[in-house]
Amino acid sequence: MRLFGRLALSTGLLVCLAMPAQALEKQLTVVTSYPKDLTTTFKKAFEQLHPDVKVEMLKKKTTAGVKYIQETASNNSSDLFWASAPDAFEVLKEDGLLQKYEVKATGIPEVIGSYPINDPDGFYKGFAGSGYGIMWNTRYLKAKNIPAPREWEDLAKPVYHGHTGMSAPSRSGTTHLTVETILQGEGWDKGWKLLKEIGGNFHTVTERSFGVPDGVNSGQFGVGIVIDFFGLSSQASGFPVEFVYPTVTTLVPANIAIVNKAPHPEAAAAFIEFLLSEEGQKILLDPKIRRLPVRPEIYAQAPKDFPNPFLDKSIGAKVKFDVVKSKNRYNLVNSLFDVMVTYRLDDLRKATKAVQDAEKAMAGKNNAEAAKMIAEAKALIAALPVDEARSFDKDFAAIFKKKRKKATDKVTGRQAEVEQQWDSMVKSNYAEAAKLARKAQSLL
């Protein structure tokens, strides 16, 4: 603790000394996916510290932000890219659109939970963490007489059928991290089985990550898998919702990076330093913002029940997250999820419902034939078109990569072709599973 304190103090001093020496540019353009509450607060605080700099917060969906920076690269006018999803930064990094930056501030650990805070290559920096969890609408659950969930496994129970929602990992980088964490934690086959059991209960797979808290807030569906600040800020805004971290939660960092050829590099650097400084980190505790700071000492000032990933090892620490693995099969996992869950949600739901009904009918009875059929049906639902080894096969994953590195790189197979094969397998499996389960039920 003392060490931390001293570090923080010296950082503060360094920052203070460094600031007046540099004449910052008059402007700073930040492309960000963060909500108004967060951006405005930081903008005000930063402008107070540097009255000469005018900060322009350009709010774009993460995907739009990435495309924006890619397309305007030849005549770049953006200084910083500020968003959660590490994959967005990875894409920009691969395209050579980010600039390396050596953070001057010290005292920031290497990992938060089990996730590395900074890009090992030095292009983007983590400034906060967020945990995934479950939020629910209390009125909804009460009206429908559904118990509040506590763990991921709860969401696979029949009682939640048609009452849950989640956004697709292909639409939200943070959701992707959650999926990947489950896959790494539970193992490829078991992980997908759990995901499909949860998915079979979905009311909806939303197109954007905010669609989940939005749906729960309205009462469109009762339970959602969301990032913590969505749940907690909804609660703070007065909605009848509650949020809980399951025992095994996943932790995702939030990042910032300087855009290559930024027109105002000095101001950009100053903003990053401010963000990582004690003062900047403190802002994260604001209930409207509410993210987990990357400076451990800040937690001392946090409200009582604020989770501290540096102390509480259950938050995101159970799984040793392998970034390289995740990165290599990134698009493959997304595509697989879409084919198996998002696009075939109706079929998956029907099959799951049939199995749940059969199991309910089965309760307390003993019918080996029916039990076998149900087991078969469950196996069919869980069956995967791709095994774990294949998911790490670089050549195979390349089909889903953004672009060929060189014209000579040979890729065999096209994504559409592969997806069609998966789709026909998944579709017939689900149909077959539903049929088997119904048959089993008729036997009971």
Partner 1 sequence: MPRIRTSYLVASSLAFFLLVFLVIPVGKVIYVAFQDSSTGALTLINFVDFFKTSLFRESFINSLYVAGMSVLFASIIAMPLAYFTTRFNFGGSIIIQTLGIVPLIMPPFVGAVAMQLLFGSNGSVNLLLDKWFGLNIPFMEGLNGVILVESIHYFPFILINLSAALNNIDRSMEEAAQNLGSTGMRLFRRIVLPLAMPGYLAGASLVFLKAFDDLGTPLLLNVNNMLATQAYLRISSIGISDPMGYVISVILVIFSLFSLWVSMLASRGKDYSGGGKGSSGLLKRDMRGWEKAGAYCLIIFLLVLVLSPHISLLLLSFGTIWSYSVLPDAFTTAHYVEVFSTTREYITNTLLYAGIAASFDVAIGVAISYVVLRTGVIGRRWLDYVATGALAVPGVVLGIGYLRTFNDFNVPFIGKPLASWWVIIVIALTIRRLPYALRACTAALHQVSITLEEAAENLGAGKTATVRKIIVPLMAGGIVAGFVTSFATATVELSATLMLVTAESDAPLAYGIYVFMQSAAGRGPGAALGLIAVVVVALGSYLAHHFIERNKRLQVNSTGQ
Q: Looking only at residues 190 through 249 of this chain, which bind partner 1 when binding is defined by CB under 8 A?
A: 203-207, 210-211, 213-215, 217-221, 230, 233-234, 236-241
Euclidean distance between CA atoms 157 and 155, whole angstroms = 5
Nearer to partner 1, 72 or 314 (CB): 72
User: Which residues between 345 and 384 bind partner 1 (CB under 8 A)?
Assistant: 345-346
In 194-328, the DSSP E strands lie at 202-206, 223-227, 241-244, 251-259, 292-293
Cβ-count burial 95-124 (b if 16+ within 10 Å, e if not)? eebbbebebebebbeebbbbbbbbbeeebb
Number of shown-chain residues binding partner 1 (CB under 8 A): 88
424 binds partner 1 (CB under 8 A): yes
Distances (CA, A) of 374 to 113, 319, 354, 367, 425: 39, 31, 9, 11, 19
User: Which residues between 307 and 326 bind partner 1 (CB under 8 A)?
Assistant: none
Q: How far is the CB of 208 from partner 1 (least distance, A)?
A: 9
Largest Cα separation within the chain, whole Å, is 82
Per DSSP, the three-state class of 302 is: coil
User: Which residues between 123 and 142 bind partner 1 (CB under 8 A)?
Assistant: 137, 139-140
116 binds partner 1 (CB under 8 A): no
390 binds partner 1 (CB under 8 A): no
Q: How far is the CB of 283 from partner 1 (least distance, A)?
A: 16
419 binds partner 1 (CB under 8 A): yes
286 binds partner 1 (CB under 8 A): no
Query: 82: which strand partners?
Result: 32, 256
263 binds partner 1 (CB under 8 A): no
> Which position among 427, 431, 443, 444 is part of the footprint of partner 1 (CB under 8 A)?
427
412 binds partner 1 (CB under 8 A): yes
Q: How far is the CB of 11 from partner 1 (least distance, A)?
A: 31
Euclidean distance between CA atoms 60 and 217, whole angstroms = 23
Q: How far is the CB of 211 from partner 1 (least distance, A)?
A: 8
> Which position among 41, 308, 367, 415 is part of the footprint of partner 1 (CB under 8 A)?
415
Nearer to partner 1, 63 or 314 (CB): 63
* Residue corresponding to tokens 């309205």: 218
* Residue corresponding to tokens 């029907």: 350
SS3 letters for 382-414? HCCCCCHHHHHCHHHHHCCCCCCCCCCCCCCCC
Q: How far from chain centre, in Å, is Cα 44? A: 28
Distances (CA, A) of 283 to 8, 39, 278, 292: 16, 11, 9, 10
Q: What tokens appear for 113 in the block? A: 């939970």
Q: How far is the CB of 106 from partner 1 (least distance, A)?
A: 32
Q: How far is the CB of 19 from partner 1 (least distance, A)?
A: 26
Euclidean distance between CA atoms 203 and 215, whole angstroms = 10
Q: How far is the CB of 320 from partner 1 (least distance, A)?
A: 25
Q: How far is the CB of 14 from partner 1 (least distance, A)?
A: 32
* Residue corresponding to tokens 């579709």: 427
Closest CA to 155 of 210, 232, 221, 208: 221
Q: Residue 340: what residue type? A: M
Nearer to partner 1, 2 or 410 (CB): 410
Q: How far is the CB of 349 from partner 1 (least distance, A)?
A: 11
68 binds partner 1 (CB under 8 A): yes
Write the interaction track for partner 1 spanning residues 69-98; mark x where CB under 8 A is met and - where it is not: --xx-xx-x-------x-xx-xx-------
Closest CA to 354 of 264, 259, 257, 439: 439
Write the interaction track for partner 1 spanning residues 153-182; mark x where CB under 8 A is met and - where it is not: ---------------x-xx-x---------
393 binds partner 1 (CB under 8 A): no
